[in-house]
Amino acid sequence: MGGKRKGISSSLRWSVFSRDGFSCRYCGVQAGQEGVELAVDHVVSLADGGTDAFDNLVTACKGCNGGKGARSLKNAPGSDEVIGRLKDRERTLREQARAMSAAIQAEKEARQAAVNLKCAAYGLEEVSIEHKEISRILNLSREFGADRVLEWYSLAAQRGVKEWDAVRYVSGIARNVREEEGEAVNA
């Protein structure tokens, strides 16, 4: 009989993608992930008598679809399994989003604590502080403890070290303390 095979319509292709959550039914990759290109695949290949009926079509990534060739895949995961995978992925993404949100909030609070530390040391409501100094205060606080760093900033203020130069002064104290502690360990 010969002739050209009629392609799957755009609306049918979209319906299959939508039903399958824009994810490959074989490996689970999703549209929008880097390098992922989706196609519509026949569960029972046309060569084996399959049709373009909605229930014989599944979403497949180019890799899975190309590797399969014209063979039928009678064991393609069902819609319930795909939906289950998508719900698991959604749950995981929500947990990751909550964790990221908590980490961002903790970082904001830590940065504010660094600003508060310098304000307390200089007895001011507002201080001049740059991003690098905030990072330095946080690192020193992790290494030596916030109380010790506050003492050092307070010492800088008592000795008349200008607010904008305090981080250098405090870093010098930290360096001296490290050297002293290193000598004590080696003695």
pLDDT digits (tens, 9 = 90+) for 157-184: 999 999 899 999 999 999 999 998 887 7
Three-class secondary structure of residue 23 per DSSP? strand
73-77: long-range contacts at Cβ-Cβ below 8 A with a sequence spacing of 24 or more? 73/26, 73/41, 73/43, 74/43, 74/44, 76/25, 76/26, 76/43, 77/25, 77/26
Q: Based on the domain organization, do 108 and 60 belong to the same domain?
A: no
Q: Based on the domain organization, do 175 and 111 belong to the same domain?
A: yes
> Whole-angstrom distance between the N-terminal and C-terminal Cα of the chain?
94
pLDDT (tens digit, 9 = 90+) per residue, 128-144? 889 899 999 999 999 99
Q: Based on the domain organization, do 110 and 167 belong to the same domain?
A: yes
Q: Is residue 176 a part of any domain in this protein?
A: yes
Q: Is residue 89 a part of any domain in this protein?
A: no
Structural domain boundaries, residue 145: 104-186
Rounded distance between C-alpha atoms, residue 129 and residue 113, angstroms: 12
Domain count, the chain: 2
H or E segment to which residue 150 belongs: helix 146-158
pLDDT (tens digit, 9 = 90+) per residue, 64-121? 887 655 555 555 566 677 677 778 878 988 999 999 999 999 999 999 999 999 999 9
Q: Is residue 154 a part of any domain in this protein?
A: yes
Tokens 């319930």, residue? 80
Q: Based on the domain organization, do 69 and 112 belong to the same domain?
A: no
How far, in Å, are 97, 103, 178 from residue 109 at the CA level? 18, 10, 27
Q: Is residue 124 a part of any domain in this protein?
A: yes
Q: Based on the domain organization, do 117 and 175 belong to the same domain?
A: yes
Q: Based on the domain organization, do 16 and 67 belong to the same domain?
A: yes
Last-in-domain residue among 62, 77, 92 = 77
Q: Based on the domain organization, do 120 and 171 belong to the same domain?
A: yes
Q: Is residue 20 a part of any domain in this protein?
A: yes
Q: Based on the domain organization, do 57 and 123 belong to the same domain?
A: no
Q: Based on the domain organization, do 178 and 111 belong to the same domain?
A: yes
Q: How many CB atoms lie within 10 A of CB 143?
A: 12
